[in-house]
Chains A and B, each alone.
Chain A
């Protein structure tokens, strides 16, 4: 069987299993088994054990459950309730006023929570009623919430980034650092759109002024500041080389527990809920990683990724053309798959191709994370759309349409980092060094 027929058969099998509702990790592993059994002479059972054990008994991977736990702890504190009151006095002067709370609130909460749907739901729960009461435009509110909810996975520490770094075998710290500037750029683009929209529609922003002194501002933000400090601290210990990513994650858990205790949100029940929630989420992600690692080893034996990479290279594609096609494929995948699956499913096939075309793998991580963000916004499986749809009772087309301008801001951000890859690579290369993977 030629490599082409083999890959098509395996792809068809994978599609049947996925659409049939077989759990994703099992689908990946079953396809890997079929590939090894029928296309190679390598024993699948030995490969299965070695990939499962090799991918999960990993010291690097230990950062993942810890970051998940840190997010789960902070998610259960009163942080979200104070997000609106804490941020509102700082942002009232901008055109578009409190609409910016959506963007900034999601950005801050998303960095700690790591889940974009949870971020979107949490901020929407506090911000939507407040904004509605004051008479803000519902459409722009919903759009900004749906889009900004995804910011968290671009701003470190981010669980999706850990998944990519583990799957692509690049440094977690470098991918984290690479996310900073694109994250700021995207936040600015979102806020910039709101400013432009507010200036173009002057009648639609209510003009209530929240006058407050610096003292009051700080008083209201007193629970936000430690949280921001924790994020800065976690990233800082990694950058200075004082702690590894896994140790930094452990500090993050400790800091999150301290913040939760200090703000009075930590009791036995919420501690247990955060621990058990983190266990389930980590188990889900690590099981997919194990299945994907088995599929990668199968792919290596069949030679499909190498053949595909050579084929793409033989076409001598324009670099930008390749990126545009990949972006299209990921947007399509994103309509049906969740972010983790999207990343681990494609790394073994796409990375050889991307590397051969001369792209930096850390940069590609940011590219893929941005596309995962977009996937959250595209129906029918855009999760943030689903969240806001259930919260407001509007139908999904309304929410999707409301977030369309922000969708274009994300595409613009992808175009920007493709044209100026330094936006992503400059910070990690400067702080960690180019050569260090």
Chain B
């Protein structure tokens, strides 16, 4: 189970990274193509979809790395035991809302599948296909949050906290803007 979950997060992060690289490649192809007089129709639509996929597919992976920001001001001052309670509360709220988010998104995408809605743009495909990235991304995010919740319930340090502390210790600040 542990190995499966870790692979799931790594795979979704990898997929998001591929989307990022693909955005770059497509934009370059479009710009160079225009110079050569070749028009890449629909590249803009695909870039937009890839951007959404990049944002949402990486959610679970980024969350585990402790790079989704939050206000740590108060949390970091707590003693370990109260910190655990606070982490449980924060994870609980996040899990609840994550579940709601998944439901809202999945319901909408299900309807656009049922009513066979089509993308409005150059590329005429059913719109649920690119929109699936949001469903999959939010589902993996929910799994990751529940995973951490179980970890803290079993009195272990959450993975995102361990990752963040390791980065601080190594003097790596590249994840802040």
| Residues in chain A within 8 A of chain B (CB atoms) | 17-27, 29-30, 33, 44-46, 48-49, 52-53, 56-59, 61-62, 65-66, 69, 72, 75, 113-118, 120-121, 125, 153, 159-160, 163, 243, 246-247, 249-251, 253-254, 275-288, 290, 336-341, 380-381, 383, 387, 390-391
Interface string of B75-105 (1 = CB under 8 A from A): 1000000000011011001100110110111
Which residue on B lies nearest to A237, using beta carbons? Answer: B31
The 13 listed contacts between A and B (C-beta, < 8 Å) are A19-B73, A21-B72, A23-B63, A56-B51, A61-B51, A66-B23, A153-B177, A250-B24, A250-B31, A277-B175, A283-B16, A285-B177, A336-B73
Task: Tell me the chain B residues, 119-161 only, with Cβ under 8 Å from chain A.
Answer: 130-131, 134
Tell me if B68 and A49 are in contact (CB < 8 A). no
**Assuming the A-B contacts A22-B94, A286-B55, are A280 and B175 also in contact, with contact meaning beta carbons closer than 8 angstroms in the complex?**
yes
Interface string of B39-71 (1 = CB under 8 A from A): 000001101111110111011011101011111
**Assuming the A-B contacts A250-B28, A279-B20, A341-B69, are A284 and B94 also in contact, with contact meaning beta carbons closer than 8 angstroms in the complex?**
no
Q: A281-B175, A285-B177 are in contact. List 11 more A-B contacts (CB 8 A).
A: A23-B90, A33-B100, A49-B109, A52-B105, A62-B48, A65-B51, A279-B20, A283-B68, A338-B176, A340-B69, A391-B171
Q: How far is the CA of A61 from the CA of B44 in the complex (A)?
A: 11
Tell me if B51 and A29 are in contact (CB < 8 A). no
Q: Which 3 A-B pairs have the closest CB atoms?
A: A45-B104, A286-B55, A250-B27
Q: What residues of chain B lie closer than 8 Å to A281, measured between beta carbons? A: 67, 174-175, 177
Contact count band on B? 35 or more
Tell me if B58 and A280 are in contact (CB < 8 A). yes
Tell me if A45 and B69 are in contact (CB < 8 A). no
Tell me if B52 and A56 are in contact (CB < 8 A). yes
Tell me if B23 and A65 are in contact (CB < 8 A). yes
Q: How far is the CA of A350 from the CA of B117 in the complex (A)?
A: 36
A26's contact among B94, B105, B130, by CB below 8 Å, is which? B94
Which residue on B lies nearest to A30, using beta carbons? Answer: B97
Q: How far is the CA of A366 from the CA of B4 in the complex (A)?
A: 46
B68's contact among A56, A159, A287, by CB below 8 Å, is which? A287
**Assuming the A-B contacts A247-B30, A283-B59, are A115 and B24 also in contact, with contact meaning beta carbons closer than 8 angstroms in the complex?**
no
B71's contact among A19, A61, A275, by CB below 8 Å, is which? A19
In the assembled complex, the CB of A34 is this many whole angstroms from the nearest CB of chain B, namely 10
In the assembled complex, the CB of A141 is this many whole angstroms from the nearest CB of chain B, namely 18
Q: How far is the CA of A25 from the CA of B71 in the complex (A)?
A: 11
Which residue on B lies nearest to A271, using beta carbons? Answer: B21
**Assuming the A-B contacts A243-B31, A253-B24, are A383 and B173 also in contact, with contact meaning beta carbons closer than 8 angstroms in the complex?**
yes
Tell me if B47 and A251 are in contact (CB < 8 A). no
Tell me if A283 and B58 are in contact (CB < 8 A). yes
Q: How far is the CA of A387 from the CA of B69 in the complex (A)?
A: 17
Q: How far is the CA of A254 from the CA of B31 in the complex (A)?
A: 13
Q: How far is the CA of A284 from the CA of B21 in the complex (A)?
A: 17
Q: What residues of chain B lie closer than 8 Å to A341, measured between beta carbons? A: 69
In the assembled complex, the CB of A336 is this many whole angstroms from the nearest CB of chain B, namely 6
**Assuming the A-B contacts A75-B174, A117-B173, are A24 and B70 also in contact, with contact meaning beta carbons closer than 8 angstroms in the complex?**
yes
In the assembled complex, the CB of A122 is this many whole angstroms from the nearest CB of chain B, namely 9
In the assembled complex, the CB of B111 is this many whole angstroms from the nearest CB of chain A, namely 10
**Assuming the A-B contacts A29-B97, A58-B48, A62-B47, are A53 and B131 also in contact, with contact meaning beta carbons closer than 8 angstroms in the complex?**
yes
Which residue on A lies nearest to B31, using beta carbons? Answer: A247
B108's contact among A46, A75, A282, by CB below 8 Å, is which? A46
Which residue on A lies nearest to B169, using beta carbons? Answer: A390
Assess whether B107 is interfacial by the CB under 8 Å rule. Answer: yes
